[in-house]
Amino acid sequence: MLDFDTCNDARLRRDPAFDGVFFTAVRTTMIYCRPVCPVKPPLTKNVNFYSSAAAAERAGYRPCLRCRPETAPFSPAWNGSRSTVERALKLIADGALDEAGVDALAERLGIGSRHLTRLFARHVGASPLQTAQTMRIGRAKRLLDETSLPMTDVAAKAGFGSVRRFNAVFSRLYGRPPSSLRRPAP
Neighbours of 180 (CB within 10 A): 11
Alpha carbon 138 to its chain centroid, in Å, reads 20
The answer to whether 64 is a known catalytic residue is: yes
Q: Which of 26, 33, 56, 158 is catalytic?
A: 33
> Coil, strand, or helix at residue 35?
coil
Neighbours of 137 (CB within 10 A): 20
Q: Which of 26, 36, 67, 89 is catalytic?
A: 67
Neighbour-count burial of 160, counting CB atoms closer than 10 A to its CB (0-12 exposed, 13-18 middle, 19+ buried): buried
Query: Amino acid identity, residue 79?
Result: N
Which residues make Cβ contacts (< 8 Å) with residue 154, sequence separation at least 6?
140, 143, 144, 147, 166, 178
- Report the distance separating Cα 155 and Cα 163, nearest Å: 6
Q: Which of 64, 88, 109, 140 is catalytic?
A: 64
Q: Which of 7, 21, 26, 37 is catalytic?
A: 37
The answer to whether 7 is a known catalytic residue is: no
Compute, in degrees rounded to 10, the torsion defined by CA atoms 10, 11, 17, 20. 130
What amino acid positions are annotated as catalytic residues? 33, 37, 64, 67
